[in-house]
Amino acid sequence: MTAPGTGDDVLDAHSTAVPLADGRELIYFDDGPGHDRSAPDQRVLPARDMRSEVRYDPISGDWVTMAAHRQSRTHLPGRDECPLCPSAPGRHGEIPASGYHVVTFENRFPSLGGPPAGGRCEVVCFTDDHGSSFSHLPERRLETLARAWTHRTRKLAELPGVEYVFVFENRGDEIGATLQHPHGQIYAYPFVPARVARALDMARSYRAERGGCLFCAVVAAESAAERVVARTDRFVAFVPEAARWPYEVHIYPHRHATGLPDLQPDERAELMVLYRDVLRRFDHLFDAPAPYVAHLQQAPAGPDAELAHLSVRIFTPRRAENKLKYLAASESGAGAFINDVLPETAARHLRRAGRA
């Protein structure tokens, strides 16, 4: 146990770790006390396939993961076969309990892990309600999810060889989500991903030339601009001036914090409510659930941690009611994005969507 109000480094009284049938770890994070999580995994599972490799591209400087075994992973199952729904008589999935709040567990079909690649991949289930979504979670559940994310960020960063912990969610067939149950993932990379490394390089150069934090300067400028979508006392959500996607929002704390572990519990709760608000605005843009990618930018595990500044970033590839943004030659081949929607227009639409 840790001191009251922290509860991040070890499992607290409202969390329970259990083994799955193939030896993977699953952790229940509950909204409160009084929940029995002793139900065993009744499946008979084969040993996991851990043949991933991480290869270095000497021309781009990127690390690329080879995970051919994922071709056989579960793909768009029907609701009756969803592996993330609670287990029931005659149907046993990844979560043994008959109901749950938030669950994290090692991915059965991981992109990373094992001796060749290193790292670790986990799944995070936000709710046991198959038809729900992040934007419908109550505030108590948001606090539980923040607790789970923070705990896993800290513990995964401590694993040997892990250099960066990446928390994310892919939602919608349009962006390639293979399971429809509300969930996200966490990748513990054995390298710092290229885009994160580039941002840290920019922050390092800014500090050397001007002093201070590049991200803090950006937050100050954007907080005074017309692209603000929503704000709270300690956080601001805005469409960045050079947004790559038609509808893209970044959420930052005003104060310098490098990741979720740097925030106090009340700050995390405030962040999660604003995050939910932004996702609701995305859903109201075109009166349909928005396909989106959302992720947290946090500090790397190494010596560059203080250069980082926590942010949540969300975008949808939907640029109009019946049109999607595709990564064509300029984006995929040259790495030069072309945006069809002015960021100022996107921000205005998102502000209006908050009144829907």
Can you tell me whether residue 86 is helix, strand or coil?
A: strand
What's the pLDDT at 190? 97
pLDDT tens digits for range 119-159: 999 999 999 999 999 999 999 999 999 999 999 999 999 99
Asked if the model's pLDDT at residue 116 lies above 70, the reply is yes
- Lowest mean pLDDT across 35-49, 242-256, 272-286: 35-49
The residues, any chain, with a CB within 8 Å of residue 111's CB and separated by 6 or more, are: 52, 65, 67, 70, 117, 121, 187
In CATH terms, are 15-191 and 195-353 the same topology? yes
The pLDDT-based confidence of 251 (bands split at 50, 70, 90) is very high
What's the pLDDT at 300? 97
The pLDDT-based confidence of 4 (bands split at 50, 70, 90) is very low
Q: What is the CA radius of gyration of the chain?
A: 20
Asked if the model's pLDDT at residue 278 lies above 80, the reply is yes
What's the pLDDT at 288? 87
Candidate list 183, 250, 295, 349, residue with the active-site label: 183
The class level of CATH for 195-353 reads: alpha beta
CA atoms of 143 and 260, how far apart (whole Å): 12
Residue 324 pairs in a beta bridge with 318
Domain 15-191 belongs to what architecture?
Answer: 2-Layer Sandwich (3.30)
Going from the C-alpha of 116 to that of each of 63, 65, 316, the distances in angstroms are: 14, 10, 34
Asked if the model's pLDDT at residue 3 lies above 60, the reply is no
Best CA proximity match to 17, nearest among 166, 115, 118, 148? 148
Give the range with max mean pLDDT: 5-9, 44-48, 162-166: 162-166
Which residue type, as a one-letter code, is found at position 70? R
The residues, any chain, with a CB within 8 Å of residue 3's CB and separated by 6 or more, are: none
Asked if the model's pLDDT at residue 49 lies above 90, the reply is no
Going from the C-alpha of 119 to that of each of 6, 65, 67, the distances in angstroms are: 26, 11, 13
Asked if the model's pLDDT at residue 67 lies above 60, the reply is yes
Which residue type, as a one-letter code, is found at position 47? A
The pLDDT-based confidence of 356 (bands split at 50, 70, 90) is low
What's the pLDDT at 151? 97
What's the pLDDT at 122? 98
The pLDDT-based confidence of 9 (bands split at 50, 70, 90) is low
Asked if the model's pLDDT at residue 74 lies above 90, the reply is no
CA atoms of 122 and 107, how far apart (whole Å): 5
Task: Give the E-state strand segments of 60-161 in sequence order.
Answer: 63-66, 102-106, 120-125
What's the pLDDT at 5? 35
274 and 166 in contact (C-beta within 8 Å)? Answer: no
CA quadruple 281, 284, 286, 289: dihedral positive or negative? positive
Asked if the model's pLDDT at residue 12 lies above 90, the reply is no
Crossing angle of helices 214-223 and 194-210, rounded to 10°: 90
Going from the C-alpha of 268 to that of each of 114, 146, 229, 284, the distances in angstroms are: 32, 6, 19, 25
**Active-site residue, 295 included:** no
Q: How many CA atoms lie within 13 A of 186 on its CB side?
A: 26
CA atoms of 273 and 256, how far apart (whole Å): 19
Mean pLDDT of the 154-182 span: 96
**Residues 218, 334, 200: CA angle, nearest 5 degrees:** 35
What's the pLDDT at 7? 46
- Lowest mean pLDDT across 3-12, 94-103, 208-217, 263-272: 3-12
Average pLDDT value over all residues in the chain: 94
Which residue type, as a one-letter code, is found at position 90? G
Q: Which residue ranges make up each domain of the chain? A: 15-191, 195-353
